Structure formats: structure tokens, C-alpha cells
């Protein structure tokens, strides 16, 4: 039996891949569904990711909750650090230290771990250059760290195809449904179930329009700044969408 649990922030919760009923799906749900189609036995799935979470609570709270599930998980996917990199004064050394702590914890527990770097939204963000510089440093350090522990690494950050605007939602920070499908195909391939990575045909780049930019800042950038100033998070008072084992059928 495969028991798969995903931990992380909005990237893993699935923001941007919104279903008609208003729920968020995302790449981790798609990976669980993909595993159910090819697994020899039953697949159970939990998703403890919550939007807005920083890396430390992902490692200290979500990972421990994942390992405490009964029965124990056989597979964990782990991503985090994107929200930290959006903040001034972030310590990349601290993020690397926390990542290694999570890797060691899973190794001690005997659970297979897949680490993902988050997709890179820098081309579409007003503060993109700083975010990319931090992301490149963190991704390179994690890529160097993981071979010591025989951990699978899915490097979404350096996937150039995924940087194209066509894979991103209107807030420019979260992937859309197509972006989540591509990440899912990359993860399933890394798990030994290769499929052609989901790719969209090139289309015209969206034209720059002042009114569109003003609307974007009003609807997405300013609310984010307001939450930061008030010390709030988009994930405050939210619970995981699948906190316990959920059977997945093909």
C-alpha cells in the first residue's frame, strides 16, 4: 500500500488550480491520483499544506504531524521557503538548515522523501529580481545537500518552461491548473512513472496595459502588503484540506 502525505505552503495546497466547486486541487492531489492509477495496491493520501506557511512551521509542525499519522506514511513530498524569501531579512542559511533537518528526520523515520523546489514566478513579480537571486542560492544549496541522503529532488525552480506566464494564475504568484499539471508530471516522473511533462503551446505574451497593472496591484499586491504590515497571513485560522488518510481510487 502507498500512503502519501504532502506538506508545504500554498504551492502544495494547490492554490491557483481552483475547481468549479471552489476547492483547490493542485499538483499534490494530481500526484495522488496518478499513483492510484499505477499502484499495485491501494493508495491513501493526506495533504497538510497550508497557504502562507513559513518553512519553520512546515518542518516543526506539519512534518511531525505527517510522521504521526497512523498507519505511518510511506512517501512524503516536501516544499517550503517561498514565503520566507518574500520577506526582508530572510536568512537563507536558516532555510538550508531547516531543510536538512527535515531530510534527516525522514531518513531516521525510514520514509521515502521527495523534495521540491518551488516554481519561479520572478519574471512576473514587481520584486522578481530579488526573489530569483534568493531562490537560485537556496535551490543550488538544496541540490548539493540532498545527494548525501539519497533523496529525490524535483527542481521546479529551474524548470524554464514553467516560468512562462501561461502557467501562472492572475495573482502571478501561484501556478494555474496547467502549471500544477506540469509539476505533477515532473513528480510522477521522478518517482519512476514517466509521462511526457505537461506543456502548453507557445502563445502571445500578454500585452502590458496600465489599467491591467493598476488592477493587479490593487487586487493582489496591496492586500499582500497590508497583511505583512498587520502581521497576518493568508493561512491564519485555516486547517489542512486532507488532515487524515483519504482513500484515492483510480
Say which CATH superfamily domain 2-205 falls into. Answer: SGNH hydrolase (3.40.50.1110)
> What residues have CB less than 8 Å from 184, skipping those under 6 apart?
27, 28, 30, 31, 34, 198
Model confidence, pTM: 0.88
Q: List the pLDDT tens digit at each of the 250 positions of the chain.
A: 899 999 999 999 999 999 999 999 999 999 999 999 988 889 999 999 999 999 999 999 999 999 999 999 999 999 999 999 988 899 999 999 999 999 999 999 999 999 999 999 999 877 789 999 999 999 999 999 999 998 999 999 999 999 998 999 888 789 999 999 999 999 999 999 877 676 766 565 565 566 665 675 565 565 656 665 666 666 677 899 999 999 998 6
Tens-place pLDDT, residues 156-165: 999 999 999 8
68 class by beta-carbon count within 10 Å (0-12 exposed, 13-18 middle, 19+ buried):
exposed
| Domain boundary assignment for the chain | 2-205
- What separation in angstroms does the CA of 131 have from each of 12, 74, 212? 19, 33, 23
Grid cell digits, residue 4 = 502519501
Amino acid at each position: 500500500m502507498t500512503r502519501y502525505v504532502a506538506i508545504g505552503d500554498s504551492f502544495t495546497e494547490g492554490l491557483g488550480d481552483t475547481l468549479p466547486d471552489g476547492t483547490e486541487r493542485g499538483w499534490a492531489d494530481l500526484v495522488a491520483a496518478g499513483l492510484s492509477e499505477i499502484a499495485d495496491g491501494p493508495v491513501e493520501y493526506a495533504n497538510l499544506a497550508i497557504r502562507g506557511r513559513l518553512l519553520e512551521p512546515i518542518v516543526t509542525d506539519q512534518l511531525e504531524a505527517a510522521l504521526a499519522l497512523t498507519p505511518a506514511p510511506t512517501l512524503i513530498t516536501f516544499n517550503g521557503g517561498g514565503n520566507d524569501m518574500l520577506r526582508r531579512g530572510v536568512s537563507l542559511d536558516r532555510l538550508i538548515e531547516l531543510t536538512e533537518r527535515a531530510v534527516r528526520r525522514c531518513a531516521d523515520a525510514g520514509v521515502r522523501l521527495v523534495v521540491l523546489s518551488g516554481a519561479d514566478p520572478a519574471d512576473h513579480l514587481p520584486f522578481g529580481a530579488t526573489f530569483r537571486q534568493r531562490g537560485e542560492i537556496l535551490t543550488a544549496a538544496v541540490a548539493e545537500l540532498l545527494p548525501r541522503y539519497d533523496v529525490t529532488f524535483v527542481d521546479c525552480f529551474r524548470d524554464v518552461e514553467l516560468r512562462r506566464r501561461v502557467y501562472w494564475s492572475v495573482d502571478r504568484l501561484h501556478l494555474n491548473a496547467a502549471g500544477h499539471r506540469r509539476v505533477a508530471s515532473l513528480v510522477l516522473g521522478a518517482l519512476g512513472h514517466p509521462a511526457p511533462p505537461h506543456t502548453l503551446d507557445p502563445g502571445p505574451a500578454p500585452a502590458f496595459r496600465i489599467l491591467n497593472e493598476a488592477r493587479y496591484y490593487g487586487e493582489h499586491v496591496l492586500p499582500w502588503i497590508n497583511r505583512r504590515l498587520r502581521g497576518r497571513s493568508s493561512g491564519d485560522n485555516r486547517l489542512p484540506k486532507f488532515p487524515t488518510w483519504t482513500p484515492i481510487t483510480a
